[in-house]
Structure formats: structure tokens, C-alpha cells
Structure 1
Amino acid sequence: MTSLLPKQSILVVDDTPENIDLLSEILCGDYRVRAAISGEKALKIVYSDEPPDLILLDIMMPGLSGLEICRRIKANPDRRHIPIIFVTAMTATADEELGLATGAVDYIMKPISPPIVRARVRTHLALYDQSRELERMVRQRTHELMTTRQQIIRRLGRAAEFKDNETGNHVLRMSHYARLIAEAHGLGAETAGIIFNTAPMHDVGKIGIPDAILLKPGKLTPEEWKVMYQHPIMGAEIIGKHDNELLETARIIALSHHEKWDGSGYPQGLKGEAIPLEGRIVAIADVFDALVSVRPYKPAIGLEQALAMMDEQIGKHFDPALMAAFHRALPEILRIREIYADEHGALTDLEFQIKEIYEHAQEPTGYPAVLTNPKDCDC
């Protein structure tokens, strides 16, 4: 019965066509053999969408030598795991040591023996398959752990919402705004995704604020403000310090999202770039949503007025560079605002996860303090 599995791919790199023909004849019955007569062509194949499973590489070639090709491949994170076997006429022990030190897994000397070539190729492909399977299992387990942590973060974020009177989709909108600002600022998708997924915890410290203060309809007294100012510290303590990047970022956001660029924020009075970047991003996203959204204690502010108010806070409340990123991302932010509008009803977790898959999403975000009324600034 013919195997349904595709043949593994071997790339033979040699500037002598006769050598390529010989190795191809030895291996073509069991493998799909590809050939390159120069280093440049070999690297194009290696960096293509269909890289080889193993490389048989000559050392002495014009242009790029086999050693240089090997160095370049091993320096590429996406291709460094491809096993490389040098097939060369350089027979000195020092040459073999140098080849192995450069990153090759094996060293076959010319003239070659077909049984040795087959055996070495078979062995290293088997080892490579085992390595890839282990990596797959690690990735799967890592994904499971990440998903679990994300769910914990979301649930704690929801717990904080039960203590406050925010609208249901505020957290979802904020999550997307923060992600978009991060991306517009030049942060990569992975970092922006971490901010997205950890921002729901920004106000988890409100769990520790008495309802008489948190839900007070009027202005807070100075004594009550002293208590309210503690919620970022409480949030950071609830999350705790962790080596895990996801949870540590959640702690940083919880602690720093009320700091202001000019140093007038709380709880630490940090100034400028001393404020963690994640906290600065979340602050902008959260203020914007608070201004343009209806709350039980205030109407929504018009978009132009809200933007004018935020621009007045450039260099005061907000990082000027991040505000520039906010404006660059504004068209997409407004699209997200419409998708998650409160009048559409609160999204369930399941609905959110579906949107997350189809919109390359990640989750929630921060808080304001532009207005004087404590209830107008979601503090």
C-alpha cells in the first residue's frame, strides 16, 4: 500500500552538478530531493514557505561557503532547527571540528558511501521529527496554560465590574483600543496581545473599596479619596508579583493606569517614562471610552469635544507620543466602538471569543481622570 504521508524533503547544496546527481540518486527513492548549486539559491529555498527537512551541504563553494551558509541558517530563529550535514572533501580533524562547531549535526567525508549517507540522513531526520513533536507538545501545553491564565484574568476583571456601575462592553472596547494604540505605536503583535489580555485587570483593586465610596453618587470627600487612591495598590497586591509575563503585565497595569505624564497622578506620582508603557497606553484607551460613553451618572460627550479634551491633556495626563499613536489608530478605534456599542447589548464570553478569533483580538483596558467629578472619570 502506498503511504499517504508526503516524502520528507532533502536539500542538496553543491557547486558540482555531478555531486548533486550522485546524492540525488542515492536519496530520491525515499525522499524528495531539491538542489542548489550556490549558497544564494540554497538560502532562498531554506527561507521559502516550504523549507527542507534536512540539508546536505558542501563546504568549499565559490561565493558563500558552506560554513557561512550554515552560520546564517543557525542565526535565523525560524530555520535554525533544520539539521545540516556537511558533505565535503575537507578531511582534516580540525575541519570536522569547525563544521560541527558552526552548527552542523554531522560530517560526511568524500568520496561518499551510499549506505552511510542513507543511514546518517535517516537518523537525523528521525531525531528532527522527535524534536519537532516535542516542540509541538510544549507549544500546546504553553497555549493551554496561557488560555487558563487569560480566563482567570477575565474572571477577576468581571469581579471588579460587579463592584462598579460601568457598562457591560466597556472592558471589551478598552481592550481593543489599548491593542490598537500599542500597534500604532510600533509594538509587535505579541506585545500588543499581552496588553489586550491583561488590561481587564486594571481595576481589580476596586474589589477592596467599600461600596459606600465606590458607588457614591456625589463627589468624594478628601478622606474618601484617600481610600479610592489605594485601589491601584490593592489591585497590584491581589495579582501579586510573578515571573510570568502575562500576570506581571496585569499587575503593572493595575498599579500604573492612573499615573499621569506630568507626575500628578496616583498612587506613586510617577512622571514621564518612569510610568510603565502599558499603564500609559491603558490610561488613554480608558479615558476615551469614559468620555464618549453614557454612564448612569452622565451623558456621553460628543466625539469632537472628547478628542479636544484629550488633546488638551497631551504632556499633562497623556504621553505625547502615545497620543499621536492614538490619533493614527482612531479610525479603527471608532470601528471597534461601533461593534461593541452598549446599545447592541452586552457580549457574552462565547461571543467575545468568536470575535477574538476572527478579528485577531486579545482583551480589555484602563481608566481616566481628566474630569473633576470622580464619577465622570471612572476612578
Structure 2
Amino acid sequence: MTGALHSAVEIEQPAATILIVDDTPQNLTILGELLCPSYQIRAANSGERALRAARTGTRPDLILLDVMMPGMDGYEVLGKLRADPMTADIPVIFITAMSASEDEERGLQQGAVDYISKPFNPAVVLARVRTQLELKQARDRLARENDWLEQEISRRMRENLLIQDLSVRALACLAEARDTETGNHIVRTQLYVEVLARHLVEHPAFSSALSGSRLEMVVKAAPLHDIGKVGIPDAILLKPGRLTPEEFDIMKTHPLIGADAIDRAIAQSLAGADTGTAELADGAFTFLKVAREISLGHQEKWDGSGYPAGLSGAEIPVSARLMALADVFDALISRRVYKPPMSLDEATRIILDGRNKHFDPDVVDAFVACRDRFAEIAARFPDHETESTGETR
């Protein structure tokens, strides 16, 4: 355990508070005088007052509870204490004149931690009280340490996720730095994908592909959709205006380049991993596999006329289908050297025309339902006031 943890939890504790519950004044006096030198003492002479005392003022660390009391007996008091989250974990020692083992067993089954018999033996009372308080202090210390550990694990997980997010965004920005589609393209398209994914997560055709943590992985991987453009020659990638058919054939290799880069990253990581790390590979590399799906499939079309594999319909991964619409929509509403930005209505018309051709019809329906959200994202993250060149490919 770290020094920071020790300093956080190993602090001097005040004297424990004990609540004594007994309807006999003599017993309250005897126990109070016996325990007062070492502990803070509170007293109650009925079950009703005991319950109020346990819930108000200084919370007791231990309750000594008489079994045989008029009105509400000790068993009923214990049941009510255990049923209340505020008092459920306070240890209770029964004090009783009864000696039958079945009575003792009943109390222990209800949650009492020990019994003290009348008449009181001072040494036994002190020993049993001290034992139960030490156990409670140990449980409390363990709970504080567990809380600290949970907070530390949560902090480190958030830190790792932030590092992962920054790494993904750095790779996406590296690819975009060579492209002429600058500005907030990767920010907008990622948000469009998230809107579509959250709208479709309950849809029967999409729920399995977006269930659990997979939805977040799809959103996080979206910025890597064009990472393969780093492998396209500048003469083609930076060319103003439209490409020739030959140049476009080269441009169409960027999904394969991106997918191959991710495959090699996974293979190299596995090659350098020990057996234990390799066994975790399926879980650890799920995110990269989703990124590969998006990179390889975002230029495929629903009718099979896309590239690089000419996939159609459900052959195209869900993540790539979402990315395809997000990418095209952003291209339509963005300025290019050969065209001004389209209006929302114009872009919507083209998206609708692409239903069952370029796009999954269910994804188009999701877009229509969420069109106002798309417009809000576009307005919130506009491109910088610099004229871009080239075209969306």
C-alpha cells in the first residue's frame, strides 16, 4: 500500500461511541461506569428511543442491546436496525439473562455479533466490547482503503482513456495534416457517428453491433477513418480540382492502406508481447479492430458499387455504414475549391437520394430523425476561414 494511502486512512480516531439500550436503570449505570473511562457512552431505556438515538446525533460504533424489554424487545429493535441503511452495519451485542442456546442462536441469525450474559462479568464485558470495536475499526479501515483504491483505479482508467483519445486524435490529425480537408472535419464526423449510433442502439438490426462498450469504441475510432491517406502521394492527395480516373484508382487504395497499418500494429504488438499479454489481446485490440472496420469499409456503398471490396448491404460493418453517411454529409455542407457549401436542405436531398443506393436505409432514416442535431454540430464546429482545395475522396 502506498504512503499516500496510509496517510489518507491511518489517522487518529476519536474514542468509540457505544449506545447502551436497557430498560433497567441499574444495568445502564453498571455498564456506563464500566465503559465510560474508555468510550463515549449514550443510553436509551426503550427500543423506540434506541432507534432514534442510533439515527441521530453521534452515530454509535457499537450497540449493547437488552433482549427482554417491554414493548419493543431486542429482536425487533435489531430487525429494524438491520433494515435501515443508516444503521444496518452497526454491530450489536445482545445483553441478556437468558441462557438457552436456541435464544442465542436466534439472535446471531438475526445479525447480533455476540452475547453478554447477566449478571455482568466486567472482564468479559470489556473483552467482548473491545473485540467487536477492533473488528469494526478493521472493517472501516478496509472500506476506506477500498474506496481509495476504487477512486485511484477510476482515476487511472480515466487517464488511460484520455491518453488513448489523445493518441487516436493525434493519428487522425496527422492524416488530416497531409490532406486539404482541414478544419473540424474529424470532430464533426465523430459527433455525427455518435448521434447515429445512439439513435440506432435499440434497433434490432444494430443492437448487437452497438451493444455494451462497442458503441463507445465505434465513436472513438471514427476519427481514424481516413488514416490511410497518409500513404497517398502528395501529387494526388493535394491536387486541386477533380482527379483523373487513374489518380482516383490510387486514391481508392487509402482504405486498404489504413486497414493494413492497423493490422501491422496489432501483429507487431502481439509479436513483442509475453504469453499473459497475448492472452488479453482479444479484449485489448477490440478497439483497433473497430477502427480497422471503419477505415476499410467507410467507402463501401449499400448497393455494392463502393470500394475497395464492393461489399453490399449487411456485408458492410455497421460502424462503416454510420461513417459513410457522416463523411458524405460533412463533405456536402463543407466548402471545396470546386464548390460552395451546400445548404442543409440540399445535403438532405442528396442523402435521401442515396437511400438504398449509397447508404443503409435505416441509417438514412436515423439521419432524418436526427437532422437537427447534425445541423447543431455543423454550426458549433465550423471550418476555419481558409479555402480548402481538393475534393472528398
Identify the TM-score tier after normalising by the shorter chain: 0.5 to 0.7
Quote the offset at 1:204 in angstroms. 0.9
Question: Who is 1:310 aligned against?
Answer: 351
User: What amino acid does structure 2 have at the position aligned with 1:238?
Assistant: A
Question: Who is 1:210 aligned against?
Answer: 233
User: What amino acid does structure 2 have at the position aligned with 1:89?
Assistant: R
Whole-Å separation in 2 of the counterparts to 1:151 and 1:298: 33
TM-score normalised by the chain length of structure 1: 0.62
Q: Of residues 289, 293, 301 in structure 1, which corresponds to 2:342?
A: 301
Whole-Å separation in 1 of the counterparts to 2:331 and 2:135: 65
Whole-Å separation in 1 of the counterparts to 2:238 and 2:372: 34
Question: Who is 1:89 aligned against?
Answer: 106
Residues 91 and 113 in structure 2, CA contact (< 8 A), matched pair in contact too: no
Q: Of residues 256, 263, 277 in structure 2, which corresponds to 1:233?
A: 256
The 3 A distance-change label for structure 1 pair 341 and 218 is: closer
Whole-Å separation in 1 of the counterparts to 2:337 and 2:87: 61
Q: Of residues 144, 151, 159 in structure 2, which corresponds to 1:144?
A: 159
Question: Who is 2:169 aligned against?
Answer: 154
Q: Of residues 178, 184, 191 in structure 2, which corresponds to 1:169?
A: 184
User: What amino acid does structure 2 have at the position aligned with 1:313?
Assistant: G
Segments of 5+ residues of structure 2 without an aligned counterpart are 1-10, 14-45, 63-76, 93-103, 117-127, 202-209, 267-280
Residues 61 and 90 in structure 2, CA contact (< 8 A), matched pair in contact too: no
Question: Who is 1:364 aligned against?
Answer: none
Quote the offset at 1:29 in angstroms. 4.8
Quote the offset at 1:257 in angstroms. 1.4
Quote the offset at 1:285 in angstroms. 1.0
Secondary structure, in 3 states, of the residue corresponding to 1:342? Answer: coil
Residues 183 and 189 in structure 1, CA contact (< 8 A), matched pair in contact too: no
Within a 5 Å distance, the mapping from 1:313-324 to structure 2 comes to 313-324=354-365
Whole-Å separation in 2 of the counterparts to 1:300 and 1:312: 18
Whole-Å separation in 2 of the counterparts to 1:237 and 1:268: 14
Whole-Å separation in 2 of the counterparts to 1:36 and 1:258: 67
Question: Who is 2:310 aligned against?
Answer: 269
Partner deviation per Cα, 1:328-375 (whole Å, 9 max, x = no partner): 2211211121111225689xxxxxxxxxxxxxxxxxxxxxxxxxxxx6
Q: Of residues 112, 128, 135 in structure 1, which corresponds to 2:143?
A: 128
Quote the offset at 1:210 in angstroms. 1.0
Segments of 5+ residues of structure 1 without an aligned counterpart are 6-16, 46-51, 59-86, 97-106, 347-374
Quote the offset at 1:168 in angstroms. 1.0
Quote the offset at 1:260 in angstroms. 2.0
Question: Who is 1:327 aligned against?
Answer: 368
Secondary structure, in 3 states, of the residue corresponding to 1:89? Answer: helix
Partner deviation per Cα, 1:261-320 (whole Å, 9 max, x = no partner): 233322233333332222211111111110111112322223222211111212222222
The 3 A distance-change label for structure 1 pair 343 and 168 is: closer
The 3 A distance-change label for structure 1 pair 36 and 250 is: farther
Q: Of residues 195, 198, 206 in structure 2, which corresponds to 1:180?
A: 195
Q: Of residues 291, 295, 305 in structure 2, which corresponds to 1:254?
A: 295
Within a 5 Å distance, the mapping from 1:60-99 to structure 2 comes to 89=106
Whole-Å separation in 1 of the counterparts to 2:174 and 2:374: 26
Residues 27 and 118 in structure 1, CA contact (< 8 A), matched pair in contact too: no
- Amino-acid identity (%): 33
Residues 108 and 117 in structure 1, CA contact (< 8 A), matched pair in contact too: no
Whole-Å separation in 1 of the counterparts to 2:82 and 2:368: 43
Whole-Å separation in 1 of the counterparts to 2:228 and 2:144: 48
Secondary structure, in 3 states, of the residue corresponding to 1:143? Answer: helix
Larger Rg: 2
Whole-Å separation in 1 of the counterparts to 2:239 and 2:83: 71
Secondary structure, in 3 states, of the residue corresponding to 1:258? Answer: coil
Whole-Å separation in 1 of the counterparts to 2:187 and 2:234: 24
The 3 A distance-change label for structure 1 pair 110 and 265 is: farther
Higher relative contact order (CA 8 A, sep 6+): 1
Residues 53 and 125 in structure 1, CA contact (< 8 A), matched pair in contact too: no
Please tell me whether residue 197 in structure 1 is matched to residue 238 in structure 2.
no
Whole-Å separation in 2 of the counterparts to 1:313 and 1:141: 44
Residues 205 and 235 in structure 1, CA contact (< 8 A), matched pair in contact too: yes
User: Alignment length, in residue pairs?
Assistant: 288
User: What amino acid does structure 2 have at the position aligned with 1:231?
Assistant: H
Residues 89 and 109 in structure 1, CA contact (< 8 A), matched pair in contact too: no
TM-score normalised by the chain length of structure 2: 0.60
Give the superposed CA RMSD. Answer: 4.2
Whole-Å separation in 1 of the counterparts to 2:372 and 2:212: 19
The 3 A distance-change label for structure 1 pair 108 and 90 is: closer
Whole-Å separation in 2 of the counterparts to 1:178 and 1:143: 22
Within a 5 Å distance, the mapping from 1:34-45 to structure 2 comes to none
